[in-house]
Structure 1
């Protein structure tokens, strides 16, 4: 299941674009997200939970929207 950056941004109240970007980068670095950039204009970025993220106790950001929940 994939979710677009803009969907996450709209669904999480009170988070800045910068903080969301930093958090997603950290989750990707930690092996919990896979980031897919589609070569279109404007750029489209989607995030998918890794198997590790689905098996472990999820980070609050990963359960922020119904589409991302297990």
Structure 2
């Protein structure tokens, strides 16, 4: 599963990614998508289980990237 696949799974699990410009731009998700869950909540759940980690490659940069473990990718697949 590539990072792109993971983002696509996240978008299916929770299409509203308005709070994360990086994810929205990567997947071309419109700001007006309506869904109670957000991709960030989904990532937050994975992060709480230690299956995802957020990092900013550039300390001054705005974009936040996510590293998702294989276990995290598997639990995303199961959620789909």
TM-score (norm 2): 0.44
TM-score (norm 1): 0.48
Structure number with the higher strand fraction is 1
Structure number with the higher helix fraction is 2
**Higher RCO, Cα 8 Å, sep 6+:** 1
